[in-house]
Amino acid sequence: MKVLMVGWELPPLNSGGLGEACYGLAKALSKKGVSIDFVLPYNFNIDVDFMKVHYANDRTRPDKIMGPYLTYTKWMKAVKEGRASVFDYLSQVLEYAENIRNIATKVQADLVHMHDWLTFPAGLTAQEIIGKPLVAHVHATEFDRTAGMGINEAIYEIEKEGFKKSDRIIPVGGIVRKTITERYGINSNKIKVVYNGVENPDKPSIDPSLTNLKKLGYKIVLFLGRITLQKGPDYFVRAAKIVSQYCPKAVFVVTGSGDMQAQMICEATDLGVIDKFIFTGFLRGVEKNSIYQAADVYVMPSVSEPFGITALEAIKNRTPVVISKQSGVSEVLQSALKVDYWDVEELANKILAVLKYKSLPKDLKSGGVKELMNLTWDKSADDVLGVYQQLI
Amino acid sequence: MPSICLYFQVHQPLRVKKYRIFDIGKDHNYFNDQSFSNLNNKNILEKVANKAYLPANELLLSMLKKNKDFKISFSFSGIFLEQLKEFNPRLLKSFRDLVKTGKVEILSETYYHSLSFFYSLAEFESQVELHRKIIWDLFGKKPAVFRNTELAYNNDLAYWANQNGYKAILAEGWDTVLGWRSPNFVYEPNIGQVKNGKKKIKLLLKNYKLSDDIAFRFSEKRWKEWPLTAEKFASWINQINGSGEVVNLFMDYETFGEHQWKEHGIFDFLKALPDKLLENKDNNFVTPSETVEKYPARDIVDVPYIVTWADSERDLSAWTGNNIQKSALKNIYLLEKRVKEVNNKKILEDWRRLQTSDHFYYMCTKWFSDGDVHKYFNPYESPYDAFISYMNVLNDFKIRLTELNKRKPGVVRKSIN
């Protein structure tokens, strides 16, 4: 089976989960004998051996390539500040659709598989040329990226067009599935949810960080993700206020960066808990794993979270998780404490319970690790293969 | 032959309400959920009463009156009867009417439906005594047959029951206990030599296959025997003829109307069953006491470890399988000495209410790894939520204990974590 996969980014040059997910899925599919031609908009100089990577434009990756999480509002702001060109926002996406023609005419494929709106124009072009079935993978919709606050009509139309023309749509969770049917008017018959996975459930063997702090008896409560509205950093700060009242030795570590960082610092200051906060900035690789391992509990209070791979990363590092019920991962993960993101008291109650009752993190960890065995990319690839097989 | 021995377990726990860390020290009412959730004990009792208990009682009463050979037995938890007194006197009256027919035997158990036998013998004995008292007060009966919470049984329990004068004790007829033997005979527990030549207690073992055909599989459309009719069931009993003396059908009373629905025909099945069974003149109905008088023990059954009627493991793992359950159980029983020292009625009652086995069952996570999330009914959103509320309550309880201890001069306090 040959698949033309249309992507936007791949690690290590990724800005978040989209690149990781494409990589994990493509690798697992290729292990199952699927031959993949993976297209990227620019030359990322990617070195992988399990699939053939094509660059729609062979010039090297421009510095100002749009990240998959950029919203129209943020881009406008960047344009005004001179950080982005007025032509970038949609032009890169449309340019990709032009540039992919060359590849599509040369490559043989049984189907075309595209990932999120950034790749939809390119995916549709490739599909027209190849004339084979089309699959749209949905890691997030415009409603998720903006948390419903001011969607961009042009992007909405691109998404809708992509959904309509696809033979199958693969959202990463039930919440995205619901958005696709309700907000885009797509029939649920052609939608099949496939959850993301982790590549390897084994605990990364590294030295955890913040050991001195822990030796002094401090408890570490971790927030890790982009500091944006979608991730609920404000709820985290308010929960931190309550937690620190009941557990004075709690320290709140924030890993990541984003447009709400200043607001987060202000709020923590107003609530009088800023001295309990540590901001590490964006971390990846070993450093990210070691911060997970240092944490006593990982908190993901997302307002909107199509999947939420960080919850599985935390468990992989043997850290118990408190996650928002409004996340895709909460649909598949049992060994987790779940809250409505807006219920700050309950969020605090559950964080405190993990810190207070020792048997609770113990069971959450061991149960979570057992569940990870069934939440691998290998399993996701089986589900995606099932979708492919319905089409060819 | 064979005789049919029907026993129904009737129990509703007092579920702990959603109790947050912030409630500790402020709210001492643990069981008074007023919401529309499944933690509202009063609502649940009413719902199950209307759907199951009341229609089943009405049906059984007419059957007992009409059919002179029909007999049944019940075991009520004290905590259930206590809730009837408070919330549903009408249901209590209907149970009393059943008992008044003289064809209903009541069994002995722990008042609080607890697993206390395995944690504190003194506490267990107090709870059995409390249960005997409420049964006497409400029904004017003195039970002669013992059954433990969740049918949890071992040799030690049989030894205790024998020492305390019981004629019989009930247990699961599990294959690993029986080996090649059939559950359809009366047995003798392995309790060694008995002092003073006291008559040895007998053991009645549940025929789990036939019991579960009704209790679990009745509405299961994928089951090859579906639909189960009284006629078909009677034919299975008739097949036993000659290779067994008594068939023990033990099940939760909620089978009738709650677990198996009226719409699926469970009441019609129950109504038709006695006549179908009695069509064969060799069959008859017996209560547990009558069973042990009528049939001799055919062999000795040795149960050195705990056997229950739950799950495919038939052990206590649904209550004590994970760390949160173990820690909750350990913490509640650790308090025994302090609770008994303060000698406060409300404290003692709350402590005992927190021992009901259901609290620990709701914390069970063992089905997570097989992905079978819906296997157990759970009024909490997750087993962890059950644990968190329970532990928060326990911390409030400890504060109350400490306060009372302070007021009592001469009592040495020990800190408990």
A147-174 average pLDDT score? 93
Q: How far apart are CA A344 and CA A241, in angstroms?
A: 10
The predicted structure's pLDDT at residue A384: 98
Q: Find residue B246's DSSP bridge partners.
A: B3
pLDDT digits (tens, 9 = 90+) for A183-195: 999 999 999 999 9
Q: Do domains A2-197+376-391 and A211-372 have the same CATH topology?
A: yes
- For domain A211-372, the question of CATH label 3.40.50.2300 is answered with no
B388-392 average pLDDT score? 98
A328-348 average pLDDT score? 97
Distances (CA, A) of A90 to A94, A154, A295, B63, B352: 6, 9, 40, 78, 67
Q: What is the number of other CB atoms lying within 10 angstroms of the CB of residue A155? A: 21
> With an 8 Å Cβ cutoff, is A11 touching chain B?
no
And the tokens for A241?
A: 């206020």
Domain map (residue ranges) of chain A: 2-197+376-391, 211-372
Distances (CA, A) of B26 to B392, B395, B400: 11, 11, 10
B52-57 average pLDDT score? 98
Q: Among B359, B362, B363, B365, which Cα is nearest to B332's?
A: B359
CA distance B177 to chain A (A): 31
Q: Find residue A113's DSSP bridge partners.
A: A5, A135
* Per-residue exposure over A367-381, b if at least 16 CB sit within 10 Å of its own CB, e if not: bbbbbbeebbbbebb
B12-16 average pLDDT score? 98
> With an 8 Å Cβ cutoff, is A208 touching chain B?
no
Q: Find residue A6's DSSP bridge partners.
A: A39, A114
Asked if B78 and B130 count as a contact pair (C-beta separation under 8 A), the reply is: yes
Q: Which residues of A touch B382 (CB under 8 A)?
A: 334, 337-338
And the tokens for B206?
A: 């549940």
Q: Which residues of A touch B323 (CB under 8 A)?
A: 359, 362-363, 366
Q: How far apart are CA A180 and CA A161, in angstroms?
A: 12
pLDDT higher than 70, residue A322: yes
And the tokens for A48?
A: 């992988």
Q: Which residues contact A125 (CB under 8 A, 6 or more apart)?
A: A97, A98, A100, A101, A104
And the tokens for B324?
A: 């949160």
Asked if B10 and B139 count as a contact pair (C-beta separation under 8 A), the reply is: no
Q: What is the number of other CB atoms lying within 10 angstroms of the CB of residue A287? A: 15
* Per-residue exposure over B295-328, b if at least 16 CB sit within 10 Å of its own CB, e if not: bebeeebebeebbbbbeeebbbebbbbbbbbbbb
More confident residue, B370 or A180: A180
Q: How far apart are CA A299 and CA A344, in angstroms?
A: 12
Q: How far apart are CA B93 and CA B90, in angstroms?
A: 5
pLDDT digits (tens, 9 = 90+) for A132-144: 999 999 999 999 9
Question: What backbone torsions phi and psi does residue A104 show, to the nearest 5 degrees?
Answer: -60, -35
pLDDT higher than 60, residue B250: yes
Q: Read off the amino acid at residue B8.
A: F
CB contact under 8 A, A357 and B22: no
Distances (CA, A) of A216 to A252, A354, B58, B320, B328: 15, 18, 66, 34, 28
Does this complex have an ipTM over 0.85? yes
The predicted structure's pLDDT at residue B417: 42
Q: Find residue B356's DSSP bridge partners.
A: B114
pLDDT higher than 80, residue B415: no
Assessment of whether the complete model's pTM goes beyond 0.90: yes
SS3 A194: coil
> With an 8 Å Cβ cutoff, is B351 touching chain A?
no
- With 0-12 CB in 10 A as exposed, 13-18 as middle and 19+ as buried, what is B180? exposed
The predicted structure's pLDDT at residue B203: 98
DSSP strands (E only) in chain A: 2-6, 35-40, 52-55, 111-115, 134-138, 168-171, 219-224, 250-255, 277-281, 297-300, 321-324, 337-339
Q: Which residues contact B289 (CB under 8 A, 6 or more apart)?
A: B105, B144, B145, B167, B168
The predicted structure's pLDDT at residue B407: 75
The predicted structure's pLDDT at residue B357: 97
The predicted structure's pLDDT at residue B409: 60
Asked if A85 and A70 count as a contact pair (C-beta separation under 8 A), the reply is: no
Q: What is the mean pLDDT of chain B?
A: 93
Helix (H) and strand (E) counts for chain B? 17, 10
A336-357 average pLDDT score? 98
A196-201 average pLDDT score? 88
pLDDT digits (tens, 9 = 90+) for B219-238: 999 999 999 999 999 999 99
Q: Which residues of A touch B27 (CB under 8 A)?
A: none
> With an 8 Å Cβ cutoff, is B327 touching chain A?
yes
pLDDT higher than 70, residue B375: no
Q: What is the mean pLDDT of chain A?
A: 92
Q: Which residues contact A63 (CB under 8 A, 6 or more apart)?
A: none
- Percent of chain B beyond pLDDT 70? 94
- The position carrying tokens 């060799």 is B282
State the greatest distance between any 2 C-alpha atoms of chain B, in Å, as a whole number: 70
pLDDT digits (tens, 9 = 90+) for B165-209: 999 999 999 999 999 999 999 999 999 877 666 768 999 999 999
pLDDT digits (tens, 9 = 90+) for A211-223: 888 889 999 999 9
Q: What is the CA radius of gyration of chain A?
A: 21
pLDDT digits (tens, 9 = 90+) for B321-364: 999 999 999 999 999 999 999 999 999 999 999 999 999 999 99
Q: How far apart are CA A124 and CA A137, in angstroms?
A: 13
And the tokens for A343?
A: 């219920």
pLDDT digits (tens, 9 = 90+) for B73-131: 999 999 999 999 999 999 999 999 999 999 999 999 999 999 999 999 999 999 999 99
Q: Among A108, A125, A113, which Cα is nearest to A56's?
A: A125
Q: Read off the amino acid at residue B327.
A: S
And the tokens for A230?
A: 């979608």
More confident residue, A284 or B133: B133
The predicted structure's pLDDT at residue A11: 85
Q: What is the number of other CB atoms lying within 10 angstroms of the CB of residue B67? A: 14
| DSSP per-residue codes, B1-34 | --EEEEEEEE----PPPP--GGGTTT----S---
Alpha-carbon torsion angle B126, B131, B132, B138, nearest 10 = 150
pLDDT higher than 50, residue A88: yes
And the tokens for B102?
A: 């003289």
Q: How many CB pairs under 8 A join A and B?
A: 65
CB contact under 8 A, A360 and B388: yes
CB contact under 8 A, B21 and A358: no
pLDDT higher than 90, residue A15: no
- Catalytic-role residue among B82, B150, B254, B258: B150
- B311 pLDDT band, cuts 50/70/90, is confident
The dotted CATH code for A2-197+376-391 is 3.40.50.2000
Catalytic (active site) residue B188? no
